[in-house]
Amino acid sequence: MDPAADRESEAKGANDLANDRWQAEETDIAGIFRWLEEREEDWIRLRREFHRRPELLFDVDRTAARVAELLEQGGLEVRRNVGRHFGKGVVGVLRGGRPGRTVLLRADMDALPIREAEGAPCRSEIEGAMHACGHDAHMAMLIAAALGLSRFREKLAGTVLFVFQPAEEGAVPSPTDGVLRSGGRDMVESGAADEASAAFALHVWPQLPVGEMAVHRREAMASSTHFQVSFRGRSGHHGSPHLAADALLMAAHFVTEAHSAAAAASDPLEPFSLAFGKLRAGTVGNAIAESAEVSGTYRAFADDTVARIRSVLERCAAACADRFGGSSETRFRMGKALINDQEAVKLALRAGASVFGQDRVRLLEKPSLAGEDFAYFLDKAPGAMLLIGVGNEERGIIHPLHHPSFDLDERALALGAKLHVQLAVDALSADAEPQP
């Protein structure tokens, strides 16, 4: 693939996506599906545009501006700078020709601090950043659905909110109160989901082949809580350890003891995972470390387990610091388990069967210990997250999410857009209303 030629094609097609007004007389969902299928190359170009220019966490100004531009060109009302603490989200509002319920569809915009593998057919141009979780595809699918549904607006009874959030992959201390917040939580706290009576999101899933869809029966993803523990001691010479307070020792003991203490405090019949990802201490090999920091995550499904493990980690950090004459400070980004609504799952299965075929839709019983802050939206409205297949073994598209060689079969883009459309249309109909 020639990147320069691909960019030229991208510029030719993507900027005019929303200006290409649908002239056909068809206003049924089959007509929208045909419109989406005919423009499959447009959605591929758009996904590659996002892929080449990834942005991290809340630093998504360029991406958010592009999303807002396309939604406005498509005739949607656009709310920019959504979020109580960071103000980086975008919401497109499509009001139907008749009054009715409000359905929320969400995509995420941020990438990961991962260096993409050499030789990728469409490689990131930002060194050290990569859309390794498919958020570029999520955006392309939802924009395509928004533009398609906008040509159907007079037939819609209700409103569709197209929500594009930053910082799904992590959290940043709020400039207001210092609490670690992800993008989904920030947008929900700003009221972005208050109008919704149902909410849905898609996530690309490389374990599923392209052309298939899956949804969890109830528990979908775990409450992924991130923590940082800072230890403060006193630096000193290795020859006089009694005059110092070793922050490295505090951190080392915390890592081993916290793991055991958390396991002992957890119900052995409930899924639970605790892991450490980063340990930083000291500045030189022959001096006692004055400070140390440990970061990690823990994952569970029950709210009481999440709270109990936090308490265990706080007590363990304080005890380890005190033992070696220092102090500790803990900071948490509290997660929330993603629990699908029963009626929303039924609706999702029907919508999936309409788009993929009955034999290409799976109902999953076993949850994932991955985390997803779409859970905050489901706190406001019943709904579900659906998994859309993007794998293709024959083409070597086999790598998992968050891998430097992650890729996806782009035929999934039009399918995902059609699935968004079907979900919105079905959820807006009175007889398909998910009940809390």
133 labelled ligand-binding: yes
Contact call for residues 58 and 134 (beta carbons, < 8 A): no
- Token digits of residue 262: 């958390």
Contact call for residues 82 and 190 (beta carbons, < 8 A): yes
Contact call for residues 224 and 169 (beta carbons, < 8 A): no
Q: Which of 379, 423, 2, 393 is nearest to 207 (CA)?
A: 393
CA 195 to CA 204: how far, in whole Å? 26
Q: For the CA atoms of the chain, what is the radius of gyration?
A: 23
The residues, any chain, with a CB within 8 Å of residue 191's CB and separated by 6 or more, are: none
Q: Which of 214, 228, 207 is nearest to 278 (CA)?
A: 228
154 labelled ligand-binding: no
Torsion of CA 415, 420, 421, 426, to 10 degrees: 120
CA 389 to CA 215: how far, in whole Å? 11
The residues, any chain, with a CB within 8 Å of residue 206's CB and separated by 6 or more, are: 390, 391, 397, 398, 399, 400, 401, 406, 408
CA 245 to CA 233: how far, in whole Å? 5
CA 3 to CA 52: how far, in whole Å? 10
- Token digits of residue 42: 């447009």
The count of other CB atoms within 10 Å of the CB of residue 367 is: 19
135 labelled ligand-binding: yes
- Token digits of residue 277: 């990802």
Backbone angles phi, psi at 156, to 5 degrees: -80, 140
Contact call for residues 133 and 405 (beta carbons, < 8 A): no
Contact call for residues 408 and 390 (beta carbons, < 8 A): yes
The half-sphere exposure of 329 on its side-chain side, counting CA atoms within 13 A, is: 6
Distances (CA, A) of 428 to 123, 176, 202, 342: 39, 37, 18, 17
Look at residue 33 and give its three-state secondary structure. helix
**Which residues are known binding-site members?**
133, 135, 169, 203, 402
**Which residues are known binding-site members for Mn(2+)?**
133, 135, 169, 203, 402
